[in-house]
């Protein structure tokens, strides 16, 4: 591979061990994913858990792809809001996902 930008980044679900929020990020390594998660709130890197979501690799983050990956279709009675999970790590997948209509 000569053009690194063509490489598909791995998809991760990142959130603290002791809380319920998660965000979706794209990173090559688990360490990079945890670092992104730690930048979201006041949580520290050591408290971050990153879980691979291989089903979402190379896919837009939408309600459909999230539910296919096992996310609940509703949360507290509201339909799943894909944009609420997108951290927007700056990658093309996030940018394109945020342009998608979310319904």
The answer to the question of residue 89 lying near Zn ion (CB under 5 A) is yes
The dihedral sign for the CA sequence 39, 51, 49, 21? positive
Torsion angle, alpha carbons of 95, 57, 14, 36, to 10: -50
Closest distance of CB 96 from Zn ion, Å: 9
**Span of 31-39, 46-54, 64-72, 86-94 interacting with Zn ion by CB under 5 A:** 86-94
The sign of the dihedral angle between the CA atoms of 88, 11, 4, 46 is positive
Dist. CA 102–CA 95, nearest whole Å: 13
SS3 52: strand
Residues within window 3-62 making contact with Zn ion, judged by CB under 5 A: 26
- Minimum CB–partner distance for residue 77 and Zn ion (Å): 28
The CB-of-76 to Zn ion minimum distance in angstroms stands at 25
Q: Which is nearer to Zn ion, 26 or 63 (CB)?
A: 26
Binding site for Zn ion (CB under 5 A): 26, 89, 91, 93-94
């Amino acid at each position: 591979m000569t053009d690194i930008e063509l490489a598909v980044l791995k998809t991760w679900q990142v959130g603290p061990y002791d809380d319920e929020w998660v965000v979706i990020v794209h990173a090559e390594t688990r360490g990079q994913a945890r670092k992104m998660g730690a930048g979201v709130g006041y949580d520290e890197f050591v408290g971050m858990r990153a879980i691979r979501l291989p089903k979402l690799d190379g896919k837009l983050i939408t309600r459909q792809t999230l539910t296919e990956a096992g996310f609940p279709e509703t949360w507290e009675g509201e339909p799943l809001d894909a944009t609420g999970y997108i951290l927007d790590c700056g990658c093309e997948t996030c940018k394109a996902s945020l342009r998608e209509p979310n319904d």
